[in-house]
Structure 1
């Protein structure tokens, strides 16, 4: 029994140590500026469109929360988000790289002025209430209650639609996202309803933007 207790204690200490080490990774925006070569070819070009899993604008990440960007990249590494290109990019990054890149994009200049709210029509208001979207993504969908949640106001509507649909895919080899909360929410809606939600949220004023950057540095 004594040996068993010592083993459990040792494992607990190891886990706690790993957690502390993970928490100690701090992002450096200046260092991140030198690590975004693989990012700017898509995220640094205004209007750039991806063609997988369907044609849509790549998401705006300048002004996005660092915690969310880091969480997304780690999810690609773990296979919780399935996208071949993003998986290969995420796999090439260390935890420090991810922290630095996330800090860099979070520090990009915001658009002038505070985001303005825009009232949804009655049907969209019902859909928003059903999904309880504001409870996680915050006021005007720009102030998430947790750093690992995204700002979504003003994000490209076609990207939001594709992202929402991906939570409804359970066992896709190359498409889908594993997130219990978002899966439960997205599966309540038809694709037509998800498209309406995406269009409304995408029409809002937000803090996200594309900061044009040269591919050649």
Structure 2
């Protein structure tokens, strides 16, 4: 019995140690800048539009939080976000690659000096009611650029058409190529009609935020 307990304890400690090491992967922004060749063709061109599953501007990721970028890439890799191109790219990345890219993009274009927090743009009564319905600010922050957890995305100033496509994706079930399987966000998104989601997306896009598109300085 003691031998069995010792074995179980050793395996448990080993698993915890592996998990801890995984969490401690540190991203290198300089290394990330040399690994972004597959990213810059879409995310490094202002106004660039994707055509799947519909035409929309690709999201701005410069200034997004590093933990969110890593979380999103892992969701593509696991198939929790169903997008064939992004899944293929995520599949090619190691955990260190993801951490390095996230470090690069989270720092890209940011200003070193702390900026004063701006008052968030006041929504219309209709949009305010929609925001309160799912209590969006409780996770994404009062300004929608200061989420309560860095693994949640900053939304303020993001492209409206991208936000609309992303929000709709949480409502899709049992489609092998389209959809996002996040239980919390699925529950939230399914409370709204698509026209309501578009109103939310348009408002969030109009709010000042940290997100930018930083064009590639040079091609290597």
**TM-score of the superposed pair, with normalisation by structure 2:** 0.94
Q: How does 1:53-132 map to 2 (within 5 A)?
A: 53-110=53-110, 114-132=117-135
**What is the CA distance between 1:97 and its match in structure 2?**
0.4
**What is the CA distance between 1:170 and its match in structure 2?**
2.0
CA distance in 2, matches of 1:3, 1:176: 47
- Give secondary structure in 2 for the equivalent of 1:10: helix
Does residue 206 (structure 1) correspond to residue 209 (structure 2)? The answer is: yes
In the alignment, structure 2 segments of 5+ residues that lack a partner are: none
Alignment size in residue pairs: 217
**What is the CA distance between 1:185 and its match in structure 2?**
0.3
CA distance in 1, matches of 2:202, 2:122: 13
CA distance in 1, matches of 2:21, 2:166: 31
CA distance in 2, matches of 1:6, 1:80: 37
**TM-score of the superposed pair, with normalisation by structure 1:** 0.95
Q: Which residue of 1 aligns with 2:10?
A: 10
CA distance in 2, matches of 1:54, 1:63: 25
Question: Alignment RMSD, CA only?
Answer: 1.5
Q: Deviations over 1:58-103 (max 9, x none)?
A: 0000000000000000111111111000000001100000000000
CA distance in 2, matches of 1:115, 1:49: 29
**What is the CA distance between 1:171 and its match in structure 2?**
1.6
The answer to whether the Cα contact below 8 Å between 1:156 and 1:202 also exists between their aligned partners in 2 is yes
The answer to whether the Cα contact below 8 Å between 1:110 and 1:208 also exists between their aligned partners in 2 is no
CA distance in 2, matches of 1:211, 1:159: 17
Q: Deviations over 1:34-56 (max 9, x none)?
A: 00000000000000000000000
Instruction: Check 1:21–1:52 CA distance in 2 against 1; reply closer, same or farther (3 A cut).
Output: same
Does residue 170 (structure 1) correspond to residue 173 (structure 2)? The answer is: yes
**What is the CA distance between 1:14 and its match in structure 2?**
2.2
CA distance in 1, matches of 2:54, 2:155: 20
Instruction: Check 1:130–1:208 CA distance in 2 against 1; reply closer, same or farther (3 A cut).
Output: same
In the alignment, structure 1 segments of 5+ residues that lack a partner are: none
CA distance in 2, matches of 1:90, 1:47: 23
